[in-house]
């Protein structure tokens, strides 16, 4: 059994003179929650549509579970489920009836099986209600329940939290983690909500202008380069003046009883020592490099 669930090979899509995706090579490993990131117009949705064979590539290929999409489309996609944009259902029918009809298009599905998936996504108690009474978040979860009826090993989610309130985002996030931990489902998650991806992704790729900028472990990538450090001392009003004598990448404005500075992680112990030597009581040195900071630095540098 191959550990590489998804591989794109020089995947390219051109629309006349515009290149939407430019020789993209990414790999998703079994068990990943893979964040697929990029600014609007970067080529994320076009890439996902090529992976699902909804859009034909100009060049390149996609391999799913080691099977070429160009040579054996049906076999390659057999273990893949996806929720792309807003799922569409028959509004006047119940969730249960929708899944009976739509889920049975590929193979017969039992009512018991449907209820299991509705329970998983937290909709079992609303199974008999018309879908037109569902909120946007409930529609998203119903779309995921439909996808799961065929036991996919790879689930692709394109902006699954768009338009959701914080509670809806939390529900979708917890559901993704549950699928990964309890069922071993590999997940490709496209999103522009970086904080959401940072909380759950194990690996990620960032694309910009159709090209891959970086790919790897979320933890490893965020540990590279300067970190943002919140420095708290007993004399916050003097801290800014002191930091002008200590070489930092960038000093932010004072925040409450602390100051945020950008500093190489290896120099944090040195900063702590210098503060103590200068007579400061160090209350906290909290390093953190957010995915948002990393993303914006990378895109602006590109």
**pLDDT on residue 246:** 77
CB 59 within 8 A of CB 12: yes
Tell me the percentage of the chain whose pLDDT exceeds 70.
93
**pLDDT on residue 62:** 96
Listed in sequence order, the residues at least 6 apart from 221 whose beta carbon sits closer than 8 Å to its beta carbon are 204, 214, 294
**pLDDT on residue 140:** 87
**pLDDT on residue 192:** 77
pLDDT per residue over 138-174, tens digit each? 898 899 999 999 899 999 998 888 777 888 888 888 8
CB 131 within 8 A of CB 95: yes
pLDDT per residue over 240-293, tens digit each? 888 877 776 566 666 667 788 877 777 888 888 888 988 988 888 877 667 777
CATH topology of domain 4-222: Rossmann fold (3.40.50)
CATH topology of domain 225-301: Alpha-Beta Plaits (3.30.70)
Whole-number Å distance between alpha carbons of 151 and 166: 28
Q: What are phi and psi of 110, to 5 degrees?
A: -80, 155
Tell me the percentage of the chain whose pLDDT exceeds 90.
47
CA dihedral 276, 282, 288, 294 (to 10 degrees): -50
- Residue predicted with more confidence, 150 or 237: 150
CB 159 within 8 A of CB 190: yes
**pLDDT on residue 6:** 96
**pLDDT on residue 293:** 72
- Residue predicted with more confidence, 128 or 2: 128
* Residue 225 binned pLDDT confidence (cut-offs 50, 70, 90): low
**pLDDT on residue 169:** 84
Q: Token pair 């985002």 is at which residue?
A: 169
pLDDT per residue over 74-127, tens digit each? 998 989 999 887 788 999 999 999 999 998 887 888 999 999 999 998 899 999
Helix/strand/coil for 92:
coil
The pLDDT of 51-60, averaged and rounded, is: 94
* Residue 2 binned pLDDT confidence (cut-offs 50, 70, 90): low
Residue 270, token pair as written in the block: 């040195």
Number of Cβ within 10 Å of residue 37's Cβ equals: 27
For the chain, domain boundaries: 4-222, 225-301
**pLDDT on residue 252:** 63
What's the whole-number average pLDDT of the chain? 87
Note the residue count of the chain: 302
Residue 94, token pair as written in the block: 């119940």
- Residue predicted with more confidence, 197 or 23: 23
**pLDDT on residue 57:** 95
């Amino acid at each position: 059994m191959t550990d590489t669930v998804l591989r794109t090979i020089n995947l390219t899509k051109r629309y006349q003179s515009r290149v939407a995706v430019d020789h993209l090579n990414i790999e998703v490993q079994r068990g990943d929650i893979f964040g697929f990131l990029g600014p609007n117009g970067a080529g994320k949705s076009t890439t996902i549509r090529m992976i699902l064979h909804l859009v034909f590539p100009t060049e390149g290929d996609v391999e799913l579970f080691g099977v070429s999409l160009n040579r054996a489309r049906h076999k390659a996609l057999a273990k893949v489920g996806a929720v792309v944009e807003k799922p569409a259902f028959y509004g006047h029918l119940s969730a249960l009836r929708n899944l009976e009809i739509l889920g049975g298009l590929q193979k017969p599905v039992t009512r018991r099986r449907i209820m299991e998936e509705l329970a998983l996504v937290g909709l079992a108690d609303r199974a008999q209600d018309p879908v037109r009474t569902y909120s946007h978040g409930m529609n998203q979860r119903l779309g995921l329940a439909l996808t799961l009826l065929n036991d996919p090993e790879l689930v692709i989610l394109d902006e699954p939290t768009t338009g959701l309130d914080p509670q809806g985002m939390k529900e979708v996030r917890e559901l993704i983690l549950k699928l990964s931990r309890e069922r071993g489902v590999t997940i490709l998650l496209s999103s522009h909500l970086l904080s959401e991806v940072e909380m759950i992704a194990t690996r990620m790729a960032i694309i910009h202008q159709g090209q891959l900028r970086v790919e790897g472990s979320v933890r490893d990538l965020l540990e590279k380069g300067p970190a943002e450090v919140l420095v708290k001392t007993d004399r916050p009003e003097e801290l800014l003046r002191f930091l002008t004598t200590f070489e930092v990448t960038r000093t932010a404005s004072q925040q409450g009883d602390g100051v945020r500075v950008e500093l190489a992680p290896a120099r944090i112990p040195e900063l702590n020592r210098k503060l103590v030597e200068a007579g400061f009581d160090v209350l906290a040195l909290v390093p953190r490099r957010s995915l948002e900071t990393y993303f914006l630095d990378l895109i602006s540098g590109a």
